[in-house]
Amino acid sequence: MSSDRASLIRDLSDEEARAALVLKWGDTEPGTIPAWVAEMDYEVAPVVREAVAAAVERGVLGYPPLDRAGGTVAEAYAGFAQRRYGATVDPAHVLLTADVTVGVRVALEVLSERAPMVLPVPAYDPQHGLGKVTGLEQWSLPVDLDGDDYALDLDELDRLLARGARTLLLTQPHNPAGHVHTRAELEGIRDVVTKHGARVVSDEIHAPLVLPGAEHVPYLSLEGTADHAVAVVSSSKAFGVPGLKCAQIVTGDDATRDRLVDTPLAHNDSWGSLGVVAAEAAYAHGDAWLDALVERLDQQRSLLRSLLAEHLPEARTWPLEATYLAWVDLRAYGHDDPAAPIRAGGVRVTPGAAYWPGLAGFVRLNIATSPERLTEIVRRMGAALD
Ligand SMILES: Cc1ncc(COP(=O)(O)O)c(C=O)c1O
């Protein structure tokens, strides 16, 4: 059973990856292995690829249906959330948006008070630009990189909200740390947020990629969150179709949904017809392929552990509980930006400073590739930092 499942994931050859992944591979010099941007070196799930190919064949290249809330993607997402997370979502509370980056921005602009927002750092790099774009002052909530776990500092969150911050941007599962907040951690966050009457925007794009041993608890599935939170979700990261543009904003009540629906269309950069097709196919028919992907990523994280022990024994990583993005502490090797010698040694990883401006000694490593490539990646990293 396990090997049947594993065979659902097909590795792209270098040539195929370079042709398909025009950013990750196309923007990296030949001879260097790209392990940076969050894309996977696997063939897109056949159920999604075939649905998109059939839609292209039918000429579905015009505008998408303008379902501002509900619609076929919303129905498919509600089914997915029930099966995968045991969460009940009302399809009438699910709206479409172009992508998760846009969805988070729209939620901040439409729903948040004009007061500072709290951004836990390290943070996914485009999130650092949200303050500038939305006009909200951005206050950092630093995570203790020398601590044993990745839980947010609730006392500091409490202080920031007491000083006037009104929104928390939560990313769970976390990029770049790979942390999955436990139910108890989320309840702690909720209690501090509700104490101050603040709001949560929860970026849950990596939720389908929670690995064995962890469980994704949608923030909105907690009691007492419906009136102050939205989640921004997408099938694009897990199913490898971020270029198609269709993410979803999940709301918890009619009032929040209505405020978002009432925003002028010009404000909510539109989603794409092929993105709608891909999201429906992924959510409704992608479970078997997704199970196989999770199994493969579980194997990749075990392989990473043994490769780091062999080639970079001084490296520290956090438990990779979700996603295929490993946050690696290379401070012991004495480089401010280890990504530079690593790139000179033939591997492109993302500098840690992209997620925490000024941070020295960290990189983010993408492990969604073949076991052979991952082996060569870590071997080259070890040689580069030796
Ligand atoms: C936490 C997080 N949010 C958002 C995105 C980007 O999503 P989208 O392509 O839908 O804007 C990513 C991409 O890796 C991410 O890791």
Task: State the chain's mean pLDDT as an integer.
Answer: 96
Return the percent helix, strand and coil in the chain, to nearest 5: 45, 15, 40
Tell me, in angstroms, the distance from the centre of ligand 1 to residue 126's CA: 8
Percent of the chain with pLDDT over 70: 99
pLDDT for 22: 97
Pocket of ligand 1 contains residue 359 by CB under 6 Å: no
pLDDT for 5: 80
Task: For 232-253, write each residue's pLDDT tens digit.
Answer: 999 999 999 999 999 999 999 9
Domains, the chain, ordered by start: 2-46+287-385 (3.90.1150.10), 62-285 (3.40.640.10)
Report the alpha-carbon angle 274-84-188, nearest 5.
Answer: 110
Tell me, in angstroms, the distance from the centre of ligand 1 to residue 351's CA: 17
Pocket of ligand 1 contains residue 324 by CB under 6 Å: no
Ligand 1 atom closest to the CA of 323, numbered from 1: 16
pLDDT for 2: 52
Question: Residue 138: CB partners within 8 Å, gap ≥ 6?
Answer: 116, 117, 119, 128, 130, 131
What is the C-alpha to C-alpha distance for residues 258 and 70, in angstroms, rounded to an integer?
A: 12
Q: Where are the alpha helices (DSSP H) in the chain?
A: 2-6, 14-20, 46-58, 71-85, 100-111, 130-134, 154-162, 183-195, 236-239, 254-261, 273-285, 287-311, 339-344, 371-385
Ligand 1 atom closest to the CA of 325, numbered from 1: 16
Q: Please return the burial class of 376, using the count of CB atoms within 10 Å of its CB with bins 0-12, 13-18 and 19+.
A: middle
Ligand 1 atom closest to the CA of 247, numbered from 1: 10
pLDDT for 6: 76
Tell me, in angstroms, the distance from the centre of ligand 1 to residue 211's CA: 18
Structure tokens at 235: 């099938």
CA 130 → CA 134, 136, 245, distances in Å? 6, 8, 19
Ligand 1 atom closest to the CA of 100, numbered from 1: 10
Q: Which of 137, 113, 290 is nearest to 193 (CA)?
A: 113
pLDDT for 82: 98
- The protein residue whose alpha carbon is closest to atom 13 in ligand 1 is 38
Tell me, in angstroms, the distance from the centre of ligand 1 to residue 100's CA: 6
Ligand 1 atom closest to the CA of 234, numbered from 1: 10
What is the C-alpha to C-alpha distance for residues 125 and 369, in angstroms, rounded to an integer?
A: 22
With a cut of 50, list the residues of the chain below it in pLDDT: 1
pLDDT for 3: 58
pLDDT for 1: 43
Best mutation site among 96, 101, 324 for ligand 1, i.e. most ligand atoms within 8 A of its Cβ? 101
Pocket of ligand 1 contains residue 38 by CB under 6 Å: yes
Pocket of ligand 1 contains residue 124 by CB under 6 Å: yes
Tell me, in angstroms, the distance from the centre of ligand 1 to residue 38's CA: 8
